[in-house]
Amino acid sequence: MRSQTQRSFLFAFIASISLCGAIGVYCLLIGEFTSLVGQILGSTATVAGASLLALASAVPWERKRWRPIGPLGMLASAVWLTLILCLIWIEWSGSDEVLIKATVVATVFAIALPHIGLIGLARLRREYNWVRIGNIASIVVLAGLIISVVLFEFDDEFVFRIIGALAIVDVCTSVAIPILHRVSAIHKQDAVRTTVLEVSLTCPRCSKTHSLSVGHSPCPSCGLRIKIEIEEEHCEQCGYVLYGTESAVCPECGKPIRRDVVPSV
């Protein structure tokens, strides 16, 4: 169900981008760009953006991480899409600011929620968690300030300076988190490689039993190339790798660990 949802969002994104590009090529070749064509281009681009944001929200939902963020992000994307389409297709009075303010607020939520959800997917070592906490805090405060400025029409230079500073912090920490995620994975791989793992199995070709190392290992008798993979134990709820974990609960989500479960080979 959730995988089908992701596929649907991805299909909507690809279809919208393709339609938008086709209309753009048509306008360039024919040389006519009417208001209707502009509305269609705006609508297809909006659908593509909303599909991309909803797809980003569906990822943490499928992986059962930060569960409220995924559905809320998809809901915010749908609201944002609806409001933008209203602005494109419905004639509204220039003095009516309610729709514009609602659209800006929906835009902030539609961007901030998927952002937080994707940041929550990073597997960071404990000493790096402060970067994620700072990133999420900057996103929340930045979103709150932008919404406050739009709703209450603040005109304070200091507020805008804070918004700019938070935006810089958000960008820097958002760039740093994927790098730290990769660094954390390298440390885990190095720890696993310090132990040589062997598996005793019967060759399916010559029916002789040998002890073979994990990975690519040819049968010593007949030369059959055999690839052995060991799946590490993961948390059933959040997918956190439990290799080397001695705690009775998952260090990521707190779910009790079932020690009777043996990783598959």
Distances from the Cα of 181 to the Cαs of 26, 119, 127, 170, in angstroms? 44, 10, 12, 17
Place of tokens 């070592």: 125
Give pLDDT tens digits along the chain (265 positions). Answer: 346 777 787 788 888 888 877 877 777 777 667 777 778 888 888 888 898 898 888 888 877 777 788 889 999 999 999 999 888 888 766 557 788 889 999 999 999 999 998 898 888 888 888 999 999 999 999 999 999 998 888 888 898 999 999 999 999 999 999 888 888 776 554 444 445 567 788 888 888 888 887 778 888 888 888 887 766 677 766 666 666 667 777 776 677 777 654 444 4
Could you tell me which of 146, 31, 134, 49 has the C-alpha nearest to residue 88?
49
Residue 57: both structure tokens together? 């929200």
The three-class DSSP label of residue 31 is: coil
pLDDT tens, 194-204? 455 677 888 88
- Determine the number of helices (DSSP H) and then strands (DSSP E) in the chain: 6, 4
Integer Rg of the chain from CA = 25
